[in-house]
Amino acid sequence: MKDFIETKESNYTQLPIKDRIKLIQLQGKQAGRDLTWNQAKRGLRQLMQGKVFINDVYQVVYENPKQIEHLVRNPQLKGKMEYLTIKRIDKKPIRSWSDFQIIKNKICENGVNKFAVEIFPPEDWLVNSANQYHLWVFPAYQDIGFGFTERLINDVQGEQTIDMNGVKFTTNQTYKEN
């Protein structure tokens, strides 16, 4: 995976503003919601406010704590969380935990010292309109109260198998170009 560069380009910027708003309305309709012009305009404003980063595989939109304040309900975290939305440029699904870790570390300032979570919400709050993934990033050194507390990394590339009394245990840490 190549380094990220910040860009002003996205597929939305290829359209005039009125067409962008119409597109948001059409996307809402596909998802089962009829959006008014003003609702779609607010949605577009939200989409366009983040910083866009691209590389050879991914497009990542970063939104700072102030931009997503309205999405953070916990008063202790309001104004402190960051948000990453990640999608492949070719629109295919992603399931590379390692890539998400690299993206968080590179895009968020001091990202190596921050927890991020991907949530699986109740069905009533589900947002799933594309092969697009959402990471909610906590402030640096914020203990989120669960998870491992010691580092354990297998950075040997390729498949490794241990045979213990005829039972095979296999790991595969091979990085495959996406």
- Say how far apart CA 142 and CA 53 lie, in whole Å: 25
Which pTM does this prediction carry? 0.80
Residue pair 17/65 in contact (Cβ under 8 Å)? The answer is no
Residue 19 has pLDDT above 70, yes or no: yes
Structure token digits, residue 119:
């949530």
Q: What is the pLDDT of residues 22-38, one digit of tens each?
A: 999 998 898 888 999 99
Question: Using CA of residue 89, residue 54, residue 132, residue 115, what is the dihedral sign?
Answer: positive
Nearest partner of 53 among 127, 104, 90, judged by Cα: 104
Q: What is the pLDDT of residues 46-90, one digit of tens each?
A: 878 899 999 999 999 999 999 999 999 999 999 999 999 999 999
C-alpha distance from residue 71 to each of 46, 79, 164, 171 (Å): 11, 10, 49, 38
